[in-house]
Every structure is written in C-alpha cells, then in structure tokens.
Amino acid sequence: MDTYGFEVLLKRVARSFQLSLRILPSSIRSTLTLAYMLARASDTIADASSAPEFQRLALLRALPDFYPEKSPDLGLQGYEKDLVQRLPELLEALQTLPDAPAIMEVWRVILRGQIFDIERFRPAESGDPAPPLSPDELEEYTYLVAGSVGEFWTRICFQHVPDYSSKTLEELLPLACRFGQALQLVNILRDRRSDADMGRIYIPDPRFYAEMEHVSELLNAGDEYTASVLPRMLRAACSLPLDLARRTLARVAEHPLGERVKVPRYVVWFALIRAMLR
C-alpha cells in the first residue's frame, strides 16, 4: 500500500487493523488494504452527521462508478477529512490493480449496507426516532458491511496464496461470513450508547445479553477459521482481530450500562506479538 503513498493515512484510520494488513504477503496486501481504505472512506461519508442526509446518500449512490474530483465539504475534520479528500486518488489506484473487479463487487455490497444504515434510522415525520433494528435486520446489516468482507478476504487469499487453508473454499466461506459479522457486532456492542445518542439503536437493552452470547458463538467460527489458515503470518493477521474482539467483548461485559471501552495500545502490540508467535 505504501506504493500508493497512503501508508501514513492508513495508520491514522485503522488503529489496530492496519497491523494485520502490514503483515500480509505482498501478493494480497495492496488488494486488501485498498479495499479497506475505500470502504472506510465511504463509511466516513455515511457517518458525516455534519452534512445533510441527501448529500451523503447522493455521494454513496454514485460510488463506486463516480466521485467528484474535488471532494465536497462535508464538515469533516482531521484524518476523516483527509481520507475523504483522497478518495479520488484511491479510486485511481484501484484501476491499477488486477483485483479491481473483486474490490468493486464487495464495495457495492458494503455500500448497500451503509445506505441502508442511513435510510433505516431516518426519523419519522413526527420527529420520533426510528425503532431499533429487528434481529433479522441486524443479521442483514452485519452481513452487508462485514460478513461480505470476510468472504472477500477469503476468496482473495484462495486466489493468490497457495495452500491458504486446510479447508476448502466452500467450507471456509460460511465461517468467514460469521467471523466478519462477529467483529462488526463487537463494535456495535461497544458503541451502542454513542450510537443510541445519535438515534441509532442496533441492539436494544432487552437484547443485550442475548447478543453478547450470540457474538461469543460467532467468534467460535473465527477460531475455526483461523485454525485452518496454514501460512503463519496470515494466521496471525486473522488471529489479531479475533483476540482484540474477545478482549473488547470482555470489557463490554464489565460495563453493561454502555460506557465505551477501549483496548490499550500496549495490549494491541502484545496481542500482535502473541499472534505472530503462534
């Protein structure tokens, strides 16, 4: 990814996940890193509450086929502003990759989830906040923005990395989907109070403990997935987010009223070293 000059920006927008990306083999690093950056850029647009809804939806619906050369003012600051401003460069870099069609395909799925997120939590005409997601809606949303990513990661690895897994692609894809959904649900549980303050209730309080148990079950799929990955560094790249998700979930369980938790930086580095030594 550094060949595109985005390495510094990546470190700013992906505090922990960039560590997994950095240890990937060169055959897949650019593809997976650029896919992450594009999805993170469109997610930043979707979450730009300082911009009107119609503007954000128009930009998301134009992607991935079109984006203005000069990024519109969305009221963003800091690294988020830098990321969105560099979206035209990211799209230009995308055209240089042989895996561009696969990136475009998964990005379209992610964009569907990001657009769903905005439209689903639109306040009613009465001004009342939108109701919480139903379990089926939560399942659909986590697939669109994360389960699909697990599938994409797996297909790319099978295509470019010999002997990627002890399982077949068909055996691994369902595990990849659940692994991705688990990581997204951990983030949702961690951020549920701040999301609720913005009128977005993904998991209402009565479902909190049930979803905690559900996430733990989904993370078991991550264990099975990671154990099947044969190249050591790729196994470490999968093991790190799995470990951090479990640590985050444990902290969420200690703060059921919704205090936002964060895994300390030194713990992240310790988890990376441990993952690489397995």
The enclosing domain of 150 has a CATH number of 1.10.600.10
Q: Is the pLDDT of residue 4 over 70?
A: no
Please give the single-letter amino acid code of residue 161.
V
Same domain, 94 and 217: no
Domain that holds residue 31: 1-120
Given 97, 120, 143, which residue is the final one in a domain? 120
| Averaged pLDDT of the chain | 91
Which H helix or E strand runs over 102? helix 100-120
Same domain, 133 and 271: yes
Question: What is the pLDDT, as a whole number, of residue 39?
Answer: 96
Question: What is the pLDDT, as a whole number, of residue 3?
Answer: 44
Q: Is the pLDDT of residue 1 over 50?
A: no
Residue range 43-65: average pLDDT? 94
- The least confident of 14-18, 49-53, 82-86 is 14-18
Same domain, 90 and 166: no
Give one word for 125, left, alpha or beta, with left for phi > 0 and alpha for psi -120 to 50.
alpha
Given 52, 86, 120, which residue is the final one in a domain? 120
Taking the C-alpha atoms of residue 13 and residue 237, their distance in angstroms, rounded to an integer, is 18
Q: Is the pLDDT of residue 275 over 80?
A: no
Domains identified in the chain, total number: 2
Same domain, 116 and 169: no
Same domain, 140 and 273: yes
pLDDT tens for 110-150 read: 999 999 999 999 987 777 889 999 999 999 999 999 999 99
The answer to whether the CB of 158 falls within 8 A of the CB of 171 is no
Same domain, 146 and 182: yes
pLDDT tens for 9-29 read: 888 887 788 888 989 999 999
Same domain, 63 and 179: no
pLDDT tens for 237-272 read: 999 999 999 999 999 998 877 777 777 776 776 777
The answer to whether the CB of 133 falls within 8 A of the CB of 141 is yes
Taking the C-alpha atoms of residue 1 and residue 119, their distance in angstroms, rounded to an integer, is 33
List residues bridging with 165 in a β-sheet.
Answer: 229
Same domain, 101 and 152: no
Burial class (CB in 10 A: 0-12, 13-18, 19+), 38: buried
Same domain, 54 and 134: no
Same domain, 139 and 256: yes
Same domain, 145 and 244: yes
Token duo for residue 61:
């619906």
Given 120, 148, 183, which residue is the final one in a domain? 120
Same domain, 70 and 130: no
